[in-house]
């Protein structure tokens, strides 16, 4: 509030400001005295009202001036509350556009307009309707409302813009439909015999309440016509349907609320009314037939029923009226046959069947069938027994029967009885005695007839044999001379009608056999016998046969031979070879040899030397004698005490008088050798649980662990996919590793197996073992099959079942594989006992290991010692050749190495495939692995190709988990023709010329993809240039497309195999086409048919393309001209 400054002769001291609600200022609501220098003052604490104010002056002499003329002003800060009219609070309506009204609002400055607001919440946080209407209106129509509860309010806004922020509201319910009915009973598909079933439903909750329910029933799910309809009050939740018999009905319900809104129908439900069952039709036995089966099977046709047949009732009686029953049975409805228990009396039987459905409706009995039970005639032969072999020519024939009255007996030497040798006709006797006139096989039969003409025949066979034939001698020929003191005498096999039981051999020094030097009876399966310890002289021999009827044949014509005994041994026979024993103990049986000369006679008095050849130094094993003289039987024996070392022991045998005559025993000390911090791949010769193994080794190796390759993963196995086995079984291999303790041994309880082992192989790598305690020849005693013919490893490889190679760990750093034709000591492989091997199955198949002990040759040091060092020299050629060259690649780190890796060429594609060898999985930990990566992702230890005409590449994979750097080496480059360049590509330092360097170093723990490229220099640019190099990467023709093919070709280069993405954009930056490509080392092509992502040909113009690999991107342009 302000006023005009006042002039005064002595000057103004102050002003008094007064405010009142009346013009008389009888009561002041504000008063203030301000300095005479001020001409304004501020009022406070005023509210909505009309106020009057005035000012008077006081000069410095205290004179008080008259009050100024009073002025009035109005303070207005809000509008009043609008009083709502209609609809009332909580009103319910079906109108989705209801009209609301209110009373007009008085305001000191006047109402400018009204705001109508509608929300679903009392907080009006979100509005579903808002409208502003002029102040002269007190109604509005709400729009946009649907089934829901709403709240509405009206705010007046005066001409000063004041309004009431939160006026009272009213609730309004818009209800346009009724809630659907749910929770119906009976269940859908309900089946009943009740033609007045009760249906029920769950009560429906509705804002205005349910007035009634409408129930409808139809014979069709479309309810095109109704067979029942009923409307009942909303307080009921069930109704009784009135239906006809046997049919399928559909029923549904809907509700009507008190505003007349109709709900949607409930989902229709099916209802089956079933009150009868179809009559059964009988099948067999047919009506009126005769049967002989004492347990006849009765059959009928299956019956269809809407609710399904529960059972059939079968009844059998001797009367057609079924006054009594001989058999009653109830069988389940899925059956259409029943068996009558044993019938004992011949008679006519009547039978019928009726069905009972799942609702227990009982059908009519079937038409009655009858059958006649008649067992007929049955002849039972008694003697002689069938197949009798006899030496007696007089036989009694007998038989029996229940029904037959007359018999005919017949005998013939033909099974068809085409010609009779004897017969008796129409006899009532049940036995006869006949004399047989000749030796032969005879058939005899009895034909029986009963009073009604039924006939039965029974047949048997017998053999009459009264002598054995004479034996014919074979060798030695008559008057033959021999140098052996143990001649073998043989004769020809003799045929006999009843079979030969044995032969009797007699030897004498007299042609009259007045006294015998040797007599022996041998089984009929033999046609030879050995006579021992004959001295120089002339001998006579003969043989006679005894058949199975004990008929003794005549002696053969006798023969004579002369014996002249020689001297030196030429043959050695090992006895008690391949024994299994316990370490540091004597073998169960002595090691024995038998020496013979070249005539087969034993050689006594010969010096035989036994010596331990493997392991070197004997490992504590010892022999009792070492040198032994053969006895009169040519035998010499020594006793072996096994050493402390577990595994095979080889004992060499030599003969002093014949240096070329030698052999070797193999004995086995049961158990395993375990070394500190060294992985060992084992294959048990006993089947053991892991608990057995742990109990056996915990005392010595408390930190040890056992793992096996995840053979179940097949080709999906990871690089080192090892799992803990549930059991150690024969035929499988396992890793054992002890990270801390000193070397030691494991001894297992139980008996080692000596039987055939079969192992199921899935596609992929497998750890396998012989499962035997002795050496097993890979080529001779291991077979593969897929359920048919068993194949040798070589033939199994040719058939595509396996890779013909086994890989074994040398115990410290690397694998070795064989068979390898390039190394004589590995050309034939033996599976060493308790040693595990890796092998690769190309298809699922079975591996069978036969229990045939074998001995590796002394030259097979890799097999004997299981610690090979394969030399690259065996792969070197005498001179460089386009048709045949090899490069050896090795990787080493931390004392571990992978050295048996080869790439090269051979002259033919089939030779390249045959030379291919897989790279086995790395050891479970502390490994370094190098292999050639094939197109299918497999790692190869040997990969060969046909001769190079331009350039050829091999992809390598290198990985290690060691903390030491990896050293890559290569050699034998001199076998590669000089015209070819050879490079290692993909190293961080760039391509390396293999001719100028012999090694490269990779960082510890690396896992890299590398490429070896060999070829003519002009073709190596794509391998040696950086990825996506501009000189090697482009599109042609550009502009395109090609007039003939309609395509454009993208060419790009990679140093190592990897993923490549090609994206083509238009100049507006929109993606036109995208390709994802698996690129190979060297040059690669991607063909674009100049269509977009939707298969439409792109238009003429300029496009941007981006080629991208991990770490490299090339962006360039192309043009399409149509």
Q: Which of 1002, 979, 1054 minimizes the C-alpha distance to 1024?
A: 1054
Helix (H, G, I), strand (E, B) or coil at 797: helix
Q: In terms of residues, how long is the chain? A: 1122
Show the tokens assigned to 617: 């130094």
pLDDT value of position 566: 54
CA–CA dist 1071, 958 (Å, integer): 38
Homologous superfamily of the 380-464 domain (CATH) = Immunoglobulins (2.60.40.10)
Buried b or exposed e, range 54-71, using 16+ CB within 10 angstroms: bbebbbeeeeeeeebeee
Region 84-174: CATH code: 2.60.40.10
Residue 23: DSSP 8-state: T
In tens, the pLDDT along 579-596 reads 988 899 999 999 999 999
Sign of torsion over alpha carbons 867, 873, 874, 875: positive
**pLDDT score at 869:** 30
User: Is the separation of the CB atoms in 1047 and 1007 below 8 Å?
Assistant: no
pLDDT for the residue 822? 67
Above 60 in pLDDT, residue 879?
A: no
Partner residues linked to 924 by β-bridges = none
Query: For 834-846, how does the pLDDT look when each residue is reduced to its tens digit (9 = 90+)?
Result: 888 999 999 999 9
Side-chain half-sphere exposure of 1091, counting CA atoms within 13 A: 7
Nearest residue to 1082 (alpha-carbon basis) of 1110, 1054, 1122: 1054
**Burial per residue of 390-401, b for 16 or more beta-carbon CB atoms within 10 angstroms, e otherwise:** beeeebebebeb
Residue-wise pLDDT for 385-432, tens only, equals: 998 888 888 999 999 987 777 899 999 999 999 999 999 998 889 999
What helix, strand, coil percent values describe the chain, rounded to 5?
A: 5, 45, 50
| pLDDT for residue 124 is more than 60 | yes
pLDDT for position 876? 41
Please state which CATH class domain 282-373 belongs to.
mainly beta
**What's the CATH number for 571-669?**
2.60.40.10
Domains 190-273 and 571-669 share a fold: yes
Place of tokens 């199994």: 796
At residue 1028, the pLDDT reads 92
pLDDT, one tens digit per residue, over 230-278 is 999 989 999 999 987 778 899 999 999 888 888 889 899 998 888 788 8
> Three-class SS of residue 779?
helix
Q: Burial level of 1102, CB count in 10 A (0-12/13-18/19+)? A: exposed
Whole-number Å distance between alpha carbons of 796 and 785: 8
d(C-alpha 774, C-alpha 793), whole Å: 19
Q: Tally Cβ neighbours within 10 Å of residue 20.
A: 18
Contact indicator for 791, 862 with CB cutoff of 8 Å: no
Are 941 and 922 in contact by the 8 Å Cβ rule? The answer is no
Evaluate if residue 875 carries a pLDDT over 50.
Answer: no
Q: How many CA atoms lie within 13 A of 405 on its CB side?
A: 5
> For the domain 473-563, what is the CATH code?
2.60.40.10
In angstroms, the CA 976 to CA 945 distance is 13
Per residue in 628-684, pLDDT tens? Answer: 999 989 999 999 999 988 889 999 999 998 888 999 999 998 877 776 666 678 888
Domains of the chain, residue spans: 12-75, 84-174, 190-273, 282-373, 380-464, 473-563, 571-669, 672-865, 872-1020, 1034-1120
Question: Domain spanning 12-75: which CATH class is it, in words?
Answer: mainly beta
Report the alpha-carbon angle 895-898-901, nearest 5. Answer: 155
Q: What is the DSSP letter of 787?
A: S
CB proximity list for 643: less than 8 A, separation 6 or greater: 583, 584, 615, 618, 619, 620, 621, 622, 649, 669
From the CA atom positions of the chain, what is the Rg in Å? 56
190-273 CATH pick, 2.60.40.10, 1.10.600.10, 3.90.10.10, 3.40.50.2300: 2.60.40.10
Residue 335, SS3? coil
d(CA 1074, CA 1096): 14
Q: What is the mean pLDDT of the chain?
A: 87
By mean pLDDT, which of 25-34, 684-693, 838-847, 918-927 is the weakest?
684-693
Determine contact, residues 999/969, Cβ cutoff 8 Å: yes
What CATH number does the domain located at 1034-1120 have?
Answer: 2.60.40.4070
Among 62-71, 302-311, 802-811, 945-954, the range scoring the smallest mean pLDDT is 802-811
Residues 6+ apart with CB under 8 A from 1099: 1120, 1122
């Amino acid at each position: 509030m302000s006023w005009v400054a006042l002039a005064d002769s002595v000057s103004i001291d102050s002003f008094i400001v007064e405010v009142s609600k009346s013009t008389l200022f009888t009561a002041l609501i504000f008063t203030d005295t301000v300095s005479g220098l001020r001409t304004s003052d501020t009022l406070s604490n005023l509210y909505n009202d009309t106020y009057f104010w005035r000012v008077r002056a006081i000069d410095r002499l205290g004179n008080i001036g008259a009050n100024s003329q009073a002025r009035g002003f109005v303070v207005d800060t809000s509008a009043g509350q609008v009083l709502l009219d209609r609809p009332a609070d909580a009103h319910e309506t079906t109108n989705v556009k209801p009209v609301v009204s209110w009373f007009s609002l008085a305001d000191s400055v006047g109402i400018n307009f009204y705001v109508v607001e509608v929300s679903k919440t009392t907080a009006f946080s979100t509005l579903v309707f808002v409208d502003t209407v002029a102040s002269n209106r007190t109604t509005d129509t709400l729009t946009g409302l649907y089934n829901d509860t709403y709240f509405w309010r009206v705010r007046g806004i005066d001409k000063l813009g004041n309004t009431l922020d939160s006026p009272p509201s009213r609730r309004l319910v818009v209800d346009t439909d009724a809630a659907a009915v749910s929770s119906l009973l009976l269940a859908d598909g309900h089946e009943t015999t009740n033609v007045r079933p009760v249906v029920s439903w769950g009560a429906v909750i509705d804002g205005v309440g349910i007035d009634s329910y409408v129930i409808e029933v139809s014979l069709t799910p479309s309810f095109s016509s109704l067979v029942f309809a009923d409307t009942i009050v909303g307080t009921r939740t069930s109704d009784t349907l009135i239906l006809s018999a046997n049919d399928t009905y559909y029923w549904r319900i809907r509700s009507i609320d008190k505003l007349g809104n109709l709900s949607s129908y409930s989902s229709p439900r099916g209802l089956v009314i079933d009150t009868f069952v179809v009559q059964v039709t009988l099948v067999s036995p047919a009506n009126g037939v005769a049967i002989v089966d004492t347990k006849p099977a009765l059959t009928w046709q299956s019956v269809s029923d809407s609710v399904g047949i529960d059972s059939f009732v079968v009844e059998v009686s001797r009367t057609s009226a079924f006054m009594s029953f001989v058999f009653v049975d109830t069988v389940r409805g899925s059956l259409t046959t029943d068996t009558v228990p044993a019938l004992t009396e011949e008679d006519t039987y009547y039978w019928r069947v009726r069905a009972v459905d799942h609702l227990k409706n009982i059908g009519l009995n079937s038409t009655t069938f009858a059958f006649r039970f008649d067992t007929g005639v049955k002849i039972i032969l008694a003697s002689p027994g069938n197949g009798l072999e006899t030496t007696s020519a007089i036989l009694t024939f007998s038989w029996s029967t229940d029904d037959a009255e007359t018999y005919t007996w017949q005998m013939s030497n033909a099974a068809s009885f085409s010609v009779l040798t004897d017969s008796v006709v129409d006899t009532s006797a049940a036995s006869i005695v006949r004399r047989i006139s000749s030796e032969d096989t005879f058939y005899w039969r009895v034909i029986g007839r009963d009073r009604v003409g039924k006939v039965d025949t029974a047949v048997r066979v017998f053999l009459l044999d009264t002598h054995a034939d004479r034996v014919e001698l074979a060798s030695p020929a008559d008057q033959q001379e021999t140098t052996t003191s143990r001649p073998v005498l043989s004769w020809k096999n003799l045929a006999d009608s009843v079979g030969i039981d044995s032969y009797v051999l007699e030897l004498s020094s007299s042609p009259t056999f007045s006294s015998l030097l040797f007599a022996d009876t041998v089984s009929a399966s033999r046609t030879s016998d050995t006579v021992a310890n004959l001295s120089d002289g002339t001998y006579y021999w003969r043989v006679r046969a005894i058949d199975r009827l004990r008929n003794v044949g005549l002696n053969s014509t006798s023969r004579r031979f002369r014996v002249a005994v020689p001297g030196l041994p030429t043959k050695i026979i090992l006895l008690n070879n391949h024994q299994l024993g316990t370490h540091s103990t004597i073998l169960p049986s002595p090691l024995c040899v038998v020496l013979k000369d070249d005539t087969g006679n034993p050689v006594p008095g010969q010096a035989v030397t036994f010596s331990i050849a493997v392991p070197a130094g004997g490992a504590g094993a010892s022999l009792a004698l070492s040198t032994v003289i053969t006895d009169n039987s040519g035998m010499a024996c020594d006793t072996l005490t096994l050493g402390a070392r577990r595994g095979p022991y080889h004992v060499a045998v030599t003969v002093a008088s014949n240096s070329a005559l030698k052999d070797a025993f193999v004995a086995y000390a049961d158990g395993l050798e375990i070394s500190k911090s060294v992985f060992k791949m084992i294959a048990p010769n006993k089947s053991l649980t892991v608990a057995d193994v742990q109990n056996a080794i915990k005392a010595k190796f408390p930190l040890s662990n056992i793992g096996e390759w995840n053979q179940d993963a097949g080709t999906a196995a990871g690089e080192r996919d090892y799992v803990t086995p549930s059991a150690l079984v024969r035929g499988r291999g396992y890793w054992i590793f002890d990270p801390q303790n000193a070397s030691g041994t494991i001894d297992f309880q139980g008996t080692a197996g000596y039987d055939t082992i079969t192992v199921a192989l899935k596609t992929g790598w497998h750890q396998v073992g012989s499962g035997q305690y002795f050496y097993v020849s890979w080529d001779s005693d291991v077979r593969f099959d897929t359920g048919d013919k068993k194949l040798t490893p070589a033939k199994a490889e040719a058939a595509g079942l396996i890779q013909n190679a086994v890989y074994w760990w040398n115990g410290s750093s690397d694998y070795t594989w064989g068979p390898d034709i390039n190394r004589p000591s590995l050309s034939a492989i033996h599976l060493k006992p308790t040693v595990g091997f890796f092998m690769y199955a190309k298809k699922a198949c079975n591996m069978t290991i036969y229990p045939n002990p074998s001995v590796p040759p002394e030259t097979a040091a890799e097999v004997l010692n299981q610690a090979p060092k394969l030399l690259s020299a065996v792969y070197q050629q005498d001179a460089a050749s386009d048709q045949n060259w090899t490069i050896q690649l090795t990787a080493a780190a931390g004392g571990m190495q992978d050295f048996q890796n080869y790439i090269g060429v051979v002259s033919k594609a089939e030779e390249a495939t045959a030379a291919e060898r897989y790279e086995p999985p790395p050891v479970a930990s502390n490994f370094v692995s190098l292999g050639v990566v094939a197109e299918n992702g497999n790692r190869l230890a040997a990969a060969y190709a046909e001769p190079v005409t331009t350039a050829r590449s091999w992809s390598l994979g290198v990985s290690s988990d060691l903390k030491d750097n990896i050293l890559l080496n290569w050699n034998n480059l001199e076998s590669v023709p000089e015209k070819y360049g050879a490079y290692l590509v993909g190293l961080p330092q760039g391509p390396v010329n293999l001719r100028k360097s012999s090694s490269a170093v990779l960082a510890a723990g690396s896992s890299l993809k590398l490429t070896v490229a060999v070829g003519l220099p002009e073709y190596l640019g794509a391998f040696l240039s950086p990825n996506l190099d501009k000189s090697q990467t482009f599109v042609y023709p550009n502009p395109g497309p090609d007039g003939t093919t309609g395509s454009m070709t993208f060419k790009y280069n990679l140093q190592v195999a990897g993923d490549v993405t090609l994206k083509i954009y238009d100049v507006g930056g929109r993606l036109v086409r995208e390709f994802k490509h698996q690129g190979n080392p060297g040059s690669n092509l991607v063909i674009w048919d100049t269509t977009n992502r939707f298969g439409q040909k792109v238009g003429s113009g300029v496009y941007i393309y981006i080629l991208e690999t991990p770490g490299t991107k090339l962006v360039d342009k192309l043009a399409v001209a149509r």
